Chains A and B, each alone.
Chain A
Amino acid sequence: MTSDPLLKVSNLTKTYTGSPSVIGRLLGRKPVNVRAVSDVSLTVARGEILGLIGESGCGKSTLGRAILRLHEPSSGRVEFAGTDVTALSAPDMKAMRRRMQIIFQDPYASLNPRRTVSDIVGLPLQLHGLAQSRSELRDKVAMMLEKVGLKAGQLDRYPHQFSGGQRQRIGIARALISNPEFVVCDEPVSALDVSIQAQIIQLLQDLKREFQLTYLFISHDISVIGYLSDRVAVMYLGEIVEMGPVDSVLSRPRHPYTQSLMSAVPEIEPSGKAQRVRLTGDLPSPLNPPAGCKFHTRCPLATDICRVRKPVTETVAQGHTAACHRLDENLSLLEGASA
C-alpha cells in the first residue's frame, strides 16, 4: 500500500440509541444501543477500489454513510486527504462534500420525482457555485449526461420518464458532476437487472479511469466485488473480519465467515465433490451481539475461547488481515471444502 492513503478510517463506531417509550421509561427501561458499526479501521489508497462485502444488516451501508457524515459517526476518525472530516465545521464540510460523493442503491428513491434531470444533476453545480449562469449549468449537465450514456436532449424530463438503469445513470451523473475524488458506491447495481448491472459496472469502471476516482464499493455480491475491486473488506455484524487484496482474500479466505460466503457462490457446473461451508441460523441481532467472537454462534469451527474472547486482527499474508482465533485450523476447512 502507498504510504499516504486518500481515505483513512480509524476506529469508526456508529451507535444508534433507541429511547424507550414513555411507558417503558416509567417501567425503568434503559435506552437501547445498537452498534451498527463497531471499531472499524480501514484505508483506501488513491485510485483504488475497495470492495466492502457482507450480508444484509451487517452495517456496510452505515459505514459508507458514516464516512461521508450522512450519519454522524459516534466515535473514531475519518481522514480524507489528510483532513479529519469528523472535525470539520458545517461550511468546511459543505466544501468537502464536493470531493466525496455517494451513489445510491435505489434508483427510484434517490431521485426527487418533482425535479427535472437538469435540476437533479445540476444541483451540485448550483450548491457549490460551479456554474456562473443557467446556460452554463445546462451545458455542463448535458455534457455529463452524455458521459454517463444519456442524451443531452433529456435535460427537461422527469425521473419517472426513465428506466431503472437510466435513472441509475442520472444518479451517477449527479455524483460525478462536481468532480469528486472519492465516491461511495452503495450497492449501485443490486436493484438492477443482470444485463443492466453489467452496463453500469462497465460505466463505473470507465468513469473511474476518466475522472481518476477512488471507490468504496459496497455490495453483497461476491462476483461483482471480485470483478471490480483491488482490495476487499468483509464485514460481519458491524466489524471487519477480513481484509486484503482481492486475489488473496477470495482465493485463500482465512476467516470462516469469508469461507462460507465464498462457498455460497453458485457454480454453473458444480464439480460435485465440493463441500460447502454451510452456516446455520440467522444473523444475530445487533441489539444483543454475541460475546467473544461475534461469529461464534454460526461458526463451524467455534470453540470455547471463541465464546469468551474477542479475536485480534492478525496479518495472514501480504496486506491480508483476518480476525479469528482459529486461523491455523481454518485453512484445512477450506481445503477440505474445495478438495
Chain B
Amino acid sequence: MSILEPTAPVEAESLFRRNMAAFMENRLAFGSAIVVVLFVLMAVFAPWIAPNDPYATNLFFRLQPPVWMEGGDWAYPLGADSLGRCILSRIIYGARISIFIGAAVIIVATSIGILAGLAAGYLRGWVDVVISRLVDILLGFPYLIFAIGLMAMMGPGLGNIILALAYKEWVIPCRVVRGETLATRELEYVEAARALGASGRHIMLREILPNILSPVIVVATIRMAHVIILEASLSFLGLGVQPPTASWGAMVADGRAFILVSWWVSTFPGLAILLLVLAINVASQGLRDAFDPRFTE
C-alpha cells in the first residue's frame, strides 16, 4: 500500500538539540555554565588541586595575609585563618559541601515535588486539596527560620541538613508540576491513553511527565543557587556542617571576629559563594530562555 502523501519534512534536529544550540549562543549563560562546571571539577578533584591539607593547623602562620600582601607567602596563596589553616585549600574542599548539599537537596526535593505535583494535578479532588494546602502552609513559613527550627530539633549532620532543606524545597517543583499537569491532562493524547485503558500511573509518568520536564529542570537549576545560599547560612549560624569540616558559610563565620584586621579570612569564602551562586543563576536563566521561552519577559 502506498497511498502516501508526499513525505513530510523530516526534522533531523531534535527539539533538545535546537534548545541546546540556542543556549550555547547565549555567551554570558554559556560562560557561566563553564564556571559552574569548573567549580564542580574543583570539588571532585579537591585532593589533587588543594595546595595544603585543609585541616592542618599551623599556629606560626596564624592569620597570614594573602600572597600579594606584605608578609604573604606562596605556601598559603589566599592566606591562613585564625588556626593557621590554608584558606584556598579550605575553599576548594568547601565547594564539595556546597555542591553536594545543593545537588542532593534539589534531587530529593524535585523527585518528591514531581510525584506530589503529578498526583495533585492529575487526580484532583481531595488529593489536590491536601497537597495544595500543605504547600500553602509550608510557603507561609520563612524558609531559613523553618530550616533553623528543624536543624535545632534534629541536630547537626550532613543528612539532617539535606532533610531540613528538602522539607520545604519540594514545594516549588510541586507547584510547577501541578500547574503544568493541569494544563496537560486536558490534551487529547492524554484522553487517548485513557480511551485505550491506560492506568493513572501510566498516564502521569509516561504521557504527562515527559512533556512537562523542561520547566521542571529549569526551576531545579534556579533553586539550586538558593539552596547553596541556605546551606551557607545554616553553616554560618553554626547549625550546618560541623567543624572542622570546611564549609564556606562556617568559614565566613570564623573570620567574622577578625574582619577588621584580617579581612581575607571571611572575604574569600564569601566571594566563592557569590561566584558560584551568580554563575548558577545566570546559567539557569539562559537555560530557561532556551528551553522554556514562556517565562521570559
* B3 interface residue per 8 A CB criterion: yes
Contact of A109 with B196 at beta-carbon distance under 8 Å, contacts A161-B10, A163-B5, A196-B5 already known:
no
B202 x A165 contact (CB < 8 A): no
- For residue B195, give the distance in angstroms from its CB to the closest CB of chain A: 5
Q: How far is the CA of A149 from the CA of B194 in the complex (A)?
A: 25
Residue of B nearest to A101 (CB): B195
Contact of A123 with B198 at beta-carbon distance under 8 Å, contacts A110-B192, A161-B8, A161-B11 already known:
yes
A146 x B192 contact (CB < 8 A): no
A68 x B195 contact (CB < 8 A): yes
Q: How far is the CA of A199 from the CA of B207 in the complex (A)?
A: 29
* A115 interface residue per 8 A CB criterion: yes
A94 x B1 contact (CB < 8 A): no
- For residue A197, give the distance in angstroms from its CB to the closest CB of chain B: 12
* B71 interface residue per 8 A CB criterion: no
* A162 interface residue per 8 A CB criterion: yes
Residue of A nearest to B12 (CB): A161
A146 x B1 contact (CB < 8 A): yes
Which residues from chain B contact A123 at a C-beta distance below 8 Å? 193, 196, 198
B196 x A178 contact (CB < 8 A): yes
Contact with B along A108-126 (1 / 0, CB 8 A): 0111111100000001100
A166 x B211 contact (CB < 8 A): no
A110 x B11 contact (CB < 8 A): no
* A279 interface residue per 8 A CB criterion: no
Residue of B nearest to A160 (CB): B11
Which residues from chain B contact A146 at a C-beta distance below 8 Å? 1
Contact with A along B1-44 (1 / 0, CB 8 A): 11111101111000000000000000000000000000000000
User: Which residues 150-178 in A have Cβ within 8 Å of B in the complex?
Assistant: 150-151, 157, 160-163, 165-166, 171, 174, 178
Q: How far is the CA of A166 from the CA of B15 in the complex (A)?
A: 20
A165 x B5 contact (CB < 8 A): yes
Which residues from chain A contact B187 at a C-beta distance below 8 Å? 109
Q: How far is the CA of A318 from the CA of B17 in the complex (A)?
A: 63
Which residues from chain B contact A104 at a C-beta distance below 8 Å? 188, 191-192
* B140 interface residue per 8 A CB criterion: no
A124 x B197 contact (CB < 8 A): yes
Contact of A166 with B4 at beta-carbon distance under 8 Å, contacts A109-B189, A113-B211 already known:
yes
* B210 interface residue per 8 A CB criterion: yes
Which of A112, A166, A178 is within 8 Å of B8, CB to CB? Answer: A166
| Residues of B within 8 A of A (CB-CB), count | 27
Which residues from chain A contact B189 at a C-beta distance below 8 Å? 109-112
- For residue A196, give the distance in angstroms from its CB to the closest CB of chain B: 7
Residue of B nearest to A184 (CB): B195
Q: How far is the CA of A146 from the CA of B187 in the complex (A)?
A: 27
User: Which residues 222-273 in B have Cβ within 8 Å of A in the complex?
Assistant: none
Which residues from chain A contact B191 at a C-beta distance below 8 Å? 65, 70, 104, 110
Which residues from chain B contact A93 at a C-beta distance below 8 Å? 197
Q: Which of A98, A102, A199 has the most CB of B within 10 A?
A: A102
Q: How far is the CA of A102 from the CA of B188 in the complex (A)?
A: 11
- For residue B88, give the distance in angstroms from its CB to the closest CB of chain A: 46
Q: Which of A70, A94, A106, A110 has the most CB of B within 10 A?
A: A110
Which residues from chain A contact B11 at a C-beta distance below 8 Å? 160-161
Q: How far is the CA of A94 from the CA of B200 in the complex (A)?
A: 12
Which residues from chain B contact A160 at a C-beta distance below 8 Å? 11
A112 x B195 contact (CB < 8 A): no
Residue of B nearest to A65 (CB): B191
Contact of A127 with B5 at beta-carbon distance under 8 Å, contacts A109-B188, A112-B207 already known:
no
Contact with B along A222-237 (1 / 0, CB 8 A): 0000000000000000
Q: How far is the CA of A178 from the CA of B192 in the complex (A)?
A: 13
Q: How far is the CA of A166 from the CA of B1 in the complex (A)?
A: 14
User: Which residues 185-234 in A have Cβ within 8 Å of B in the complex?
Assistant: 196, 199, 203
B197 x A110 contact (CB < 8 A): no
Contact of A147 with B1 at beta-carbon distance under 8 Å, contacts A110-B188, A166-B8 already known:
yes
Residue of A nearest to B8 (CB): A163
Q: How far is the CA of A110 from the CA of B188 in the complex (A)?
A: 4
Which residues from chain B contact A166 at a C-beta distance below 8 Å? 4-5, 8
Contact of A102 with B4 at beta-carbon distance under 8 Å, contacts A97-B197, A160-B11 already known:
no
Q: How far is the CA of A18 from the CA of B29 in the complex (A)?
A: 46
Residue of B nearest to A105 (CB): B188
A/B interface sample: 27 pairs, CB < 8 A: A65-B191, A68-B195, A95-B197, A97-B197, A102-B192, A109-B187, A110-B189, A110-B191, A112-B211, A114-B211, A115-B206, A115-B210, A123-B198, A124-B196, A124-B197, A127-B196, A127-B198, A127-B202, A146-B1, A160-B11, A161-B8, A161-B9, A162-B8, A166-B4, A174-B192, A199-B5, A203-B3
Q: Which 8 A-B pairs have the closest CB atoms?
A: A97-B197, A114-B210, A110-B188, A163-B8, A109-B188, A94-B197, A112-B189, A124-B196
13 additional contacts (CB under 8 A) given A150-B4, A161-B10, A166-B5: A94-B199, A95-B197, A110-B189, A112-B193, A115-B207, A123-B193, A123-B196, A124-B196, A127-B202, A128-B197, A149-B2, A165-B5, A196-B5
